[in-house]
Structure 1
Amino acid sequence: MPVSITIFRRCSLLLAVLLLAAAPTAHAQRVSARDKARVEAIEQRMAAAEKRYADALLLVANADPKGTTEGDAALEDMEDVIDACIGQKGCQVGTLLATYKRLLKHQSDERADGADELAGDRLEADPDHAGPLRADVPEAARAAALLNDHRHAFDEMVEYNPAIQAGIRRWLTDMRPALLTSYENYMNLRPVMWPEWEKRGLPEALLFGIMAKESNGRVHASSRAGAAGLMQFMPATGRRFGLGPDGTGFDTRFDARSAAEASASYMIERMGQLNRNIELALAAYNGGEGRAQRVYNQSGGQGFWTESVYSQFPGETKDYVPMVIAAAWIFLHPQQYGVEFPKVNAQPATIRLAKSTTIYELTICLGSTGTRDGYMRVLRNLNPRYEADGWIPAGTPINATTRIATLYNRQCVSGPRADLARAVITADLNAAIKRPQAAAYNGNVAVGDVQSMAAAAAAPRPATRSYTVAKGDTLGRIASRFQCQVPTLARANGLRAPAYAIRPGQSLKLEGCGR
């Protein structure tokens, strides 16, 4: 709750107390039947406001943003009731104030329990994502409704059947760690992903379900078939929706905001052609849009669960559709299934690096305060252009969260943790090998030694270092890994801009590289 609102309410409460002290007691008043009826109505209004506030607490417990709005409105209702009571003969203001004070105290305790001791000042928005982040998108409070009932549009858009229940069973047993990891990864990416789905009117739960099934929220995920990124776009489909090499050696399928925008556009397109049927749209996402459209047309518009339709999809798609919906269902109804998703402080921020570093080094110096597994995945997801072991120059702005920014300034710029991280990250395995000492020089040089030295002097210098391209490599990643400039590396290997096309197994000369 904003501080100004809290102060205003406390002032209102204090004013009410002062007025109550100045008001005559109920015993000193003669109350008519009409006044009694009005007092009864006021007390009923207070009871209704209290119930509204209690309902809001349930929404807040489910991470539903409506909870905050409803809670604020309920408190305002109570203030109005108290004002009415003060001016109403026979109304017991003290009783109403006791209710109001109790609820305010409960709210204060809730905020204190959830306070983030490491919250720092928000840094300037990263230039790469300044637009998509939008100033009006709160960090982790906005969402489609997360209620444990059927007031969600998504609940009415899909069929909750035994196949979905079986998918829920899998997510809550063997795949529970993957579900929780997917949620934590998603919440850190949410400020750049959810707006792209929200403005197209698509359910957030569906975005989470697809991402959880496709990649578990790992930006750099890729498949043997060539699908890549959080939403696992194939190259051809990605190109249709603006994804692919951007001319710098980076594939935008690995960019969270771009992938979210493309996947939302894809789902809008598919649902528009499949009678807004989510199951069939998901079947198209996994099994091919041509197949899904053909089956839909041949069936006369029957749904995915109709046997004649269901039987025409491959086993992978039959598994994919219910698993996505199951993950989405748990996302909407966590308490119903006893799921306590991790609390994630994901308010966006940027860090301008005080010195050159790597994501590995940052992971070490940041530690794991406030997270289960440290911050490497968060940093990699928010900064997909950088390899984990690639050196990032000083002065570079990188995407982060306010918690990471606070920890960075505290532990990574200087001090014992920063020194330790640098020592660990630059440790050379070869330095651990103990080698025999060379024989002591005794002042005599044999002819054979002279010849050996002459031969060594005449020997050609070692050839330029080379690197064999691995699957998934781009020129940008290779340049980052070996501290090269992309244009220099491209010229040395005869690669043409903007594609800088390379292939697995190709040998590249590492000219001009620092490592």
Structure 2
Amino acid sequence: MRISRLLVTILFAGFFSGSADAAKPTRESLLYTQIDQTLKTYQQARDLYETGDDSQLVVMNKAIEDLEDQANQCFKLKTCSKTKVISAYEQLIKQSDMPSSAASGATALAPQNIPALGTTIKLLGSRNLELLTKYNEPMQAAIANWLTVNRGFFMDSWENYHYMRYLMAPEYEKAGLPEALLFGMMTKESGGKVHSVSRAGAAGPLQFMPATGRRFKLDSGPGYDMRYDPQFATRANAQYMNERFEELNRSLEMAIAGYNGGEGRARRIYGERGGDFWQENVYTEWPAETRDYVPAVLAAAWLFLHGHEYGLTYPKLDYSPGSLTLQRATTINELTICLGNPHNQSGWFRVLRNLNPHYEPGQYIAQGIVLRAPKKLVASYQANCVGGPRSEQAKMLTQARKTPVFYRPAPVIVAETTANDDMDSASAVSQKHNGKYIVKPGETLMMITRTFDCDLSRLIKVNDLSPPNYVIHPGQEIILIGCKK
């Protein structure tokens, strides 16, 4: 006989044997009693199982089935507390530490279907989160948001993440955390754009404030900021989240809330009111931004795992990592142009920036430097970026100024004698023959490069010109080494 049926029989037998004046129990209160008893049954069976009584596996799985039945009954009643049921599931899951050899009759909540027992990874694979997607309206609203107005943002984040996945996911795996949580947080924080900076100064794919970044060894200095590095930022985020899980009794929602609303506030609320984020007296303690943030992260994590159930389809792309060994000095901007957009309609600017966060787009990167890049770009780089018309075109376009250059001819001075003219002309020729050139007003480095048919990278190196724009000034002497005219 099913435990739930037995409990109902006992409860109703007690009710009918009572006096007519006794308070009539509600259907909800009966269900709450059943739920509490089911949890006790599971706990008792689990304790016996730990002493070596393998027959208790059947009792434990039966308790799980009973709890599912009771949850379904509760959700049909408008006044039944869904939080009560979800909390019961969470308690049961936290107690689940059976081996993967559990009885074949186990349900979806059986431990073999809950990865990495004893860590927070189980929370994203549990019925707790599944129940939120079915019955929690803020969660449903967040899923709807990702599927409507922010669908494009979500898809961009998904693609950005997969090019960086080989750098980020292992850090979460080593920390015992679920990849879906990483994706959910990254999507909400930055959409996978590693150079994102908030108005408050939070930066990187996971939006660390400067002080918090330093605390987790995300150092910054002239020319670099480790908050932008996807691998190190993920490592820091995993350490931060595990700190919150340890403090907050592994409450997934409270740990996520603490990431957005502050760890101090999370500790205070947890100490004063407990760790059930969805309880009114806890939920209302958080600012509106955090109340939106938590379901948004969970919804993105859920869609990462179950997007196909909502009609999401992802592009079938090759995200295999590779590298480009630069055969000539270049910039990310130049590479983006000369690579074109094979295999990626949006081009490669964002991917190259994300994988090489310490270089500015217009910063010249020296020959011989190895850049991270998708493996499929190697052939396009060799064909279009090492030399040839596409490469030269990219150089010309990236060197162009945003504002026009207005030419102002120098005042005409009438020479007194033809001899003087000859002397000026000879001087100009002498300047050229001596391998030097004096910059005239309005001239740019690209103009000089074209005039004397020079190798631009060599001209920059010989004259020690400064990135990123390599500005030259009237009267400046340019050494014309590497020029053909």
TM-score of the two chains, using structure 1 as the length reference: 0.55
1:357 aligns with 2:327: no
Q: Is the 8 A contact 2:123 2:252 kept in 1?
A: no
Deviation at 1:347, TM superposition (A): 1.4
Aligned counterparts of 1:263 and 1:282: Cα–Cα separation in 2: 11
Counterpart of 1:508 in structure 2 is none
Alpha-carbon distance change, 178 to 421 in structure 1, aligned in 2, over 3 angstroms? same
Task: Give the aligned residue type for 2:254.
Answer: L
Q: Secondary structure at the match of 2:373?
A: strand
Deviation at 1:429, TM superposition (A): 5.2
Aligned counterparts of 1:429 and 1:290: Cα–Cα separation in 2: 47
1:443 aligns with 2:415: yes
Q: Secondary structure at the match of 1:342?
A: coil
Deviation at 1:184, TM superposition (A): 0.8
Aligned counterparts of 2:406 and 2:242: Cα–Cα separation in 1: 63
1:264 aligns with 2:238: yes
Counterpart of 2:66 in structure 1 is none
Counterpart of 1:180 in structure 2 is 155
Q: Is the 8 A contact 1:229 1:254 kept in 2?
A: yes
Q: Secondary structure at the match of 1:386?
A: coil
Counterpart of 1:226 in structure 2 is 201
Counterpart of 1:380 in structure 2 is 353
Identical-pair percentage: 47
Counterpart of 2:171 in structure 1 is 196
TM-score of the two chains, using structure 2 as the length reference: 0.59
1:98-497 aligned within 5 A: 154-156=124-126, 158=129, 159-160=132-133, 161-245=136-220, 249-299=223-273, 301-428=274-401, 433=405, 435=407, 442-444=414-416, 481=468
Aligned counterparts of 2:316 and 2:288: Cα–Cα separation in 1: 35
Aligned counterparts of 1:239 and 1:436: Cα–Cα separation in 2: 52
Deviation at 1:442, TM superposition (A): 3.9
Larger radius of gyration: 2
Aligned counterparts of 2:276 and 2:359: Cα–Cα separation in 1: 43
Deviations 1:456-481 (A, max 9, x none): xxxxxx9xxxxxxxxxxxxxxxx753
Deviations 1:286-335 (A, max 9, x none): 00011111111111x34100001000000000000000111111111111
Deviation at 1:365, TM superposition (A): 0.6
Aligned counterparts of 1:187 and 1:271: Cα–Cα separation in 2: 26
Task: Give the aligned residue type for 1:443.
Answer: A
Q: Secondary structure at the match of 1:391?
A: coil
Q: Secondary structure at the match of 1:481?
A: coil
Aligned counterparts of 2:179 and 2:141: Cα–Cα separation in 1: 22
Deviation at 1:207, TM superposition (A): 0.3
Q: Secondary structure at the match of 2:324?
A: strand
Deviations 1:344-378 (A, max 9, x none): 32211121111111111000011111113100011
- Structure 2 spans left out of the alignment, 5+ residues: 1-113, 116-120, 418-440, 442-465, 472-485
Aligned counterparts of 1:184 and 1:412: Cα–Cα separation in 2: 24
Aligned counterparts of 1:312 and 1:207: Cα–Cα separation in 2: 25
Deviation at 1:261, TM superposition (A): 0.3
Aligned counterparts of 1:427 and 1:260: Cα–Cα separation in 2: 37
Q: Is the 8 A contact 1:185 1:217 kept in 2?
A: yes
Q: Is the 8 A contact 2:143 2:296 kept in 1?
A: yes
Deviation at 1:482, TM superposition (A): 5.5
Alpha-carbon distance change, 483 to 349 in structure 1, aligned in 2, over 3 angstroms? farther
Deviations 1:131-180 (A, max 9, x none): xxxxxxxxxxxxx99xxxxx975141533321111001111111011001
Q: Secondary structure at the match of 1:334?
A: helix
Q: Is the 8 A contact 1:193 1:256 kept in 2?
A: yes
Alpha-carbon distance change, 440 to 225 in structure 1, aligned in 2, over 3 angstroms? closer
Q: Secondary structure at the match of 1:333?
A: helix
Aligned counterparts of 2:301 and 2:345: Cα–Cα separation in 1: 23
Q: Secondary structure at the match of 2:164?
A: helix
Q: Secondary structure at the match of 1:395?
A: coil
Q: Is the 8 A contact 2:320 2:375 kept in 1?
A: yes
RMSD: 2.6
Alpha-carbon distance change, 427 to 337 in structure 1, aligned in 2, over 3 angstroms? same
- Structure 1 spans left out of the alignment, 5+ residues: 1-143, 146-150, 446-461, 463-478, 485-515
Q: Is the 8 A contact 2:223 2:358 kept in 1?
A: no
Aligned length: 302
Aligned counterparts of 1:309 and 1:241: Cα–Cα separation in 2: 28
Q: Secondary structure at the match of 1:229?
A: coil
Q: Secondary structure at the match of 1:364?
A: helix
Alpha-carbon distance change, 480 to 321 in structure 1, aligned in 2, over 3 angstroms? farther
Aligned counterparts of 2:259 and 2:316: Cα–Cα separation in 1: 30
Task: Give the aligned residue type for 1:385.
Answer: H
Deviation at 1:197, TM superposition (A): 0.2
Q: Secondary structure at the match of 1:275?
A: coil
Aligned counterparts of 2:368 and 2:280: Cα–Cα separation in 1: 59
Deviation at 1:427, TM superposition (A): 2.5
Q: Secondary structure at the match of 2:390?
A: helix
Deviation at 1:236, TM superposition (A): 1.6
Aligned counterparts of 2:169 and 2:175: Cα–Cα separation in 1: 10
Deviations 1:425-479 (A, max 9, x none): 222456x55646556554349xxxxxxxxxxxxxxxx9xxxxxxxxxxxxxxxx7
Alpha-carbon distance change, 434 to 267 in structure 1, aligned in 2, over 3 angstroms? closer
